[in-house]
Amino acid sequence: MRGILIVNKDKAMTSHDVVAILRRKLKIKRIGHTGTLDPNVTGVLPICIGNATRISEYIMHQGKSYDCTMEFGHATTSYDSDGEITESSDKVIFTKEEILRAFKHFTGEIMQSPPIYSAIKIKGKKLYEYARKDMDVEIPKRSVNIYGLELIELEGNKLRFNIDCSKGTYVRSLVHELALYLGTYAHMTSLVRTRVGRFYLDDCLSLSQIEEMSLADIESKLYSMEDSLYNLATIYIADDIEDRLNNGQKINIKSIKHQIKENDLGQIDYENIVVNVQGKFLGIGRIQDNILKMERVLKSD
């Protein structure tokens, strides 16, 4: 069994919990998730099964979408409802225009500091380990991309919005920074991941559904590795060179019949390109100076 299973992660469950449950159900050890979701966050969690674990890092780099609810009035240590209140403000009511102006400010490439209560590692320790021991640590800012912010609902001191963003974005931090920009404090009260790459909530199975399914039914719900790598360009090769590539030979693409298709954004990254030989997914290769070399052979059955 190999492929990508799209799970709707339940609340109060870690990503590792999901992997453990699936290993037990599928009786397969080679299973991995594609990026940690905090226990209180629900939603889309792609799970790589079998040989597909070798492409998990490529799925991790795909864009994400979230449905977020925040509440104005209090900041907390963790930037969400689990933390202790650190700051308060009576400024909690805002107009739609004020919110949209703030959204515009935070759209695009921004510098962001992860929350102190997070799994980011600094000097070999996770940030929450410093926080629990009340130790000071300098948290470096990092660049993330906010592709879009859409207001869903604004009622009283509560704001609900959708965010499309890059890998590594901390929505809790965005909530905190958004409030500071508006001259107040806030914390996140709910977060649902609605998309990873091309996978949406509608593509998900809950763990309770999976528990009731046969292994054959579960396998029928797996997405192929090639379908999951839509963010990479593809070289389609007409010549029969599968064995040569599998054996590590380098191929001058000028000597073979081929076509290169851009990724979903109309881009071509020659450092990481999907290789398809005579209609068969072979894996991920690299093209440099017209020379194709396989980096990961992941051929399907």
Active-site positions read 38
Type of residue found at 237: I
Going by C-alpha positions, the residue among 284, 71, 55, 51 that lies closest to residue 161 is 71
Distance CA 127, CA 139 (A): 8
Could you count the other beta carbons within 10 Å of the beta carbon of residue 290? Answer: 11
Contact 37, 8 (CB under 8 A): no
Sign of CA dihedral 280, 281, 283, 284: positive
Distance CA 249, CA 78 (A): 51
Distance CA 189, CA 68 (A): 8
Type of residue found at 24: R
